[in-house]
Amino acid sequence: MASPFEIMVTAIGGPEVLKSRSINMPLPAPNEVVLAHTAIGVNFVDIYLRAGQAHSHNPQPPFVPGINAVGNIMALGSQIQGLQIGQKVTYTNAGVGSYSTHVAVSAERLIPVPPDVDDVRVAAGLVRALTCQYLLKQMRQLNPGTRVLVHAAAGGVGQILVQWAKRLGLVVLATAGSDIKVQTALALGADFAINYRTQDFVSEVNQITQGQGVSVVFDSVGKDTFEGSLKCLEPKGLVVNFGTASGQVEGFALQELHSKSLWVCRPTLRTYIANRHDMLSMSAEAFEILCDPTIRLDIDTLLPLSQASEAHRLLESRTTQGAIVLIPDSLINPQE
């Protein structure tokens, strides 16, 4: 068997602070299982935590990054019932770092993986689909015909958000950071797409909606877009700032909401999946999306786990479309 290892954030800093180190094979506590990972998700939050962007749950280095992975159960704790060796499961926000070949994880946080979806797609898509579930179904009643604006529409979350929103009959305006990404957003079903690096998205939205604005802006970019997002809203509209890829929103005056009775929310998936019942019911919907082969989720890059720093460089570079997934090196090259 290949030697277990994990990736550590050794200090707050750039991608170079990610270093690999050997570990002993984990042993399960009574309520845990040990997983041999097959595919590991790379999410933007991994970058925030590595770079020390203020977060409610910033761990101090050294720590193992990563919030989700897929794997096969290889050992069961003494109290575990209803799970089997060899079973495929996934998890997210389980209080363990997922950038590792093996992990001991609480059975409470495990989610069974349906048989008809591959591990890479689950690692790429589950967190993102869960996020889209609460954004579209739990924040505000969104009836067919409602206009929404999705920023970074060609990214990992953005791809699923656009397609799911179209399934709900919404009118989707999208932004993306290059002309190629704009074409991707349109191919995903967006009704309109704007290159927000070359066009003023506020005036474009104004023109497209004939001055009426949109009901909801799903804003994962944060600092660079937030002010503009507010300007795109119809009266009583909502900006959901669910990510801060360009930096955090600072110095926002509540009074800016006053003239059009606007709403702002800054949610996190962790709140929505904190209890097991909610996590499983949202996962069922997320898997309906992921198991549907007509839903496109691009795997931009597959990398060996030992090259996690390259994964971070790529995701930060703003050149990716879709998701990056890490694979334990021994599954790519069985000699290792």
Ligand X SMILES: NC(=O)c1ccc[n+]([C@@H]2O[C@H](COP(=O)([O-])OP(=O)(O)OC[C@H]3O[C@@H](n4cnc5c(N)ncnc54)[C@H](OP(=O)(O)O)[C@@H]3O)[C@@H](O)[C@H]2O)c1
Q: Which residues of this protein are in contact with ligand X, per CB under 6 A? A: 43-45, 127-128, 131, 152, 154-158, 176-177, 181, 220-221, 224, 242-243, 245-246, 267-269, 315-316, 318, 320
Cis status, amide bond into 62, omega within 30 of 0: yes
CB of 139 to ligand X, least distance (A): 11
Instruction: Tell the smallest beta-carbon distance from residue 284 to ligand X (Å).
Output: 18
Backbone angles phi, psi at 44, to 5 degrees: -60, -30
Cβ closest to ligand X, residue 58 vs residue 261: 58
Q: Is 191 or 224 the residue whose CB approaches ligand X more closely?
A: 224
Q: How far is the CB of 11 from ligand X (least distance, A)?
A: 21
Report the candidate in 330, 271, 334, 281 with the shortest Cα–Cα distance to residue 306: 330
Q: Alpha-carbon distance 325 to 227, whole Å? A: 32
- CB of 70 or CB of 157, closer to ligand X: 157
**For ligand X, the closer CB: 107 or 111:** 111
Residue number, 53 or 72, with CB nearest to ligand X: 53
Residues contacting 249, CB < 8 A, separation 6+: 222, 223, 226, 241
CB of 297 to ligand X, least distance (A): 10
CA pseudo-torsion sign 2, 105, 92, 263: negative
Rg (CA), the chain: 20
- The least distance separating ligand X from the CB of residue 60, rounded to whole angstroms, comes to 20
Q: What angle do CA 19, 20, 24 make, to 5 degrees?
A: 145
With respect to ligand X, which residue has the nearer C-beta, 76 or 129?
Answer: 129
Least distance (Å) between residue 242 CB and ligand X: 4
Element (H, E) at 304: strand 299-304
Minimum CB separation from ligand X for residue 156, in Å? 3
Angle between helices 44-51 and 308-316 in degrees, nearest 10: 100
Cβ(321)–Cβ(154) below 8 Å: yes
Residue 45, classed as helix, strand or coil, is helix
Q: Of the two residues 260 and 313, which places its CB atom closer to ligand X in the complex?
A: 313
Cα angle 70, 71, 73 (rounded to 5 degrees) comes to: 145
Q: DSSP code of 87?
A: -
